[in-house]
Amino acid sequence: MSSISELYDVCWEEMRDKLRKWREENYRNSEQIVDVGEELINEHASKLGDDVWIIYEQVMIAALDCSRDDLAWSCLQELKRQFPDSHRVKRLAGMRLEALERYEDANKLYDSILQDDPTNTAARKRKISILQAQGKSSEAIRELNEYLEQFVGDQEAWHELSELYINEHDYAKAAFCLEELMMTNPHNHLYCEQYAEVKYTQGGLENLELARKYFAQALKLNNRNMRALFGLYMSASHIAASPKVSAKVKKDNVKYAAWATSQISRAYQVRGCLPTSVGLHTIQVTFWPRLMSSNNCSN
């Protein structure tokens, strides 16, 4: 089997830089990280200088993701040797136990970290991940709420909590989490768009109007967000079709929907592909009416 450097004609510096990019942008392309990282470690460890340790950590986590316990174990040994008393390395050992589904042992390890250092956020988050892995969603939600009371600025945790609430169909609480995220990240179009989707799902005229506004906001921040564009079309169409709205509101929403339609058609034409449905006028939004919303427009 040829090496990565042969297959892709790259030198070790490019491989190291690629790993750094994936690390900094938090990509979870574990199979690629394992392929590139394993070769880098095996062939070029001596050239990496102090970078080698963070690469061991990155490759170890990716190896766990790909069930490569052999590779994870050898990375862990190198890190243990270099940093014998490190909490950070202990947490990695805990993650390996999690991957082996030895949750009790993993929890013991994390508890020992927390005894030494009660502010260790990584260990607390791992304990919550174990609850999720075991399917204990309500406990995970409870623990995550407690965590956020102490560490109110942890974006990652707020987002994780919004995902948990969405899975539990607790849309109101999911919306609350997303509101926190939008406040601290006002330029992030993805949070706006997710918030709009949650509002749309909650249903009811007021929520649909909010949804439409936040889909529009997401588009303002990123005009290529297709979910926001379709979402704008669908929420405006639903509002226009509601018997409860005034003639003016109806007219305005018909206009918004028409604008969205033209933007969608243009997007497909510009990218050189036609939507595989016959045409947007056949998107009969009422055909699958109010799927999953608890209340609908006529309430």
Partner 1 sequence: MLEDDSGVTKKRTLPLSSLSVSFRSHEMGEVELSCLAYAKMYLHASQFPRCSVNGLLLSSSPAGGAVCITDCVPLLHTHLSLAPITQLALTQVDAWCSQTHQRIMGYYQANACVSDSSPTPCALKIAEKIFEQCNNAVLLMIDGEKMFPGCRVPPIVMYERKDARWALKDKHTIMLRQWEETCSIVNQLFSSGDQALLVDFDSHLDDITKDWTNQKLNAKIMELVSPANGNV
Q: With respect to partner 1, which residue has the nearer C-beta, 79 or 130? A: 130
| Alpha-carbon gap, residue 234 to 211, rounded angstroms | 10
Q: What is the CA radius of gyration of the chain?
A: 24
- Cβ burial of 66 (10 Å; 0-12, 13-18, 19+) is middle
Q: With respect to partner 1, which residue has the nearer C-beta, 258 or 283? A: 283
In eight-state DSSP terms, residue 28 is -
Residue 160: both structure tokens together: 């994780």
The nearest distance, CB 234 to partner 1, in angstroms, is 6
Q: With respect to partner 1, which residue has the nearer C-beta, 118 or 289? A: 289
| Alpha-carbon gap, residue 146 to 119, rounded angstroms | 13
The site for partner 1 (CB under 8 A) is made up of 28, 133, 135, 166-167, 169, 194, 196-198, 200-201, 203, 211, 226-227, 230-231, 234-235, 267-268, 271-273, 275-278, 282-285, 287-288, 290-293
The nearest distance, CB 263 to partner 1, in angstroms, is 12
The nearest distance, CB 291 to partner 1, in angstroms, is 5
Q: With respect to partner 1, which residue has the nearer C-beta, 52 or 164? A: 164
Q: With respect to partner 1, which residue has the nearer C-beta, 152 or 226? A: 226
Q: Which of 178, 264, 176, 187 is nearest to 222 (CA)?
A: 187
The nearest distance, CB 274 to partner 1, in angstroms, is 10
The nearest distance, CB 77 to partner 1, in angstroms, is 26
Within a 10 A sphere around the Cβ of 227, how many other Cβ atoms?
16
Q: Which of 191, 178, 261, 266 is nearest to 222 (CA)?
A: 191
The residues, any chain, with a CB within 8 Å of residue 80's CB and separated by 6 or more, are 89, 93
The nearest distance, CB 250 to partner 1, in angstroms, is 21
**Distance, CA of 7 to chain centre:** 31
CB of 197 within 8 A of CB of 211?
yes
Q: With respect to partner 1, which residue has the nearer C-beta, 119 or 277? A: 277
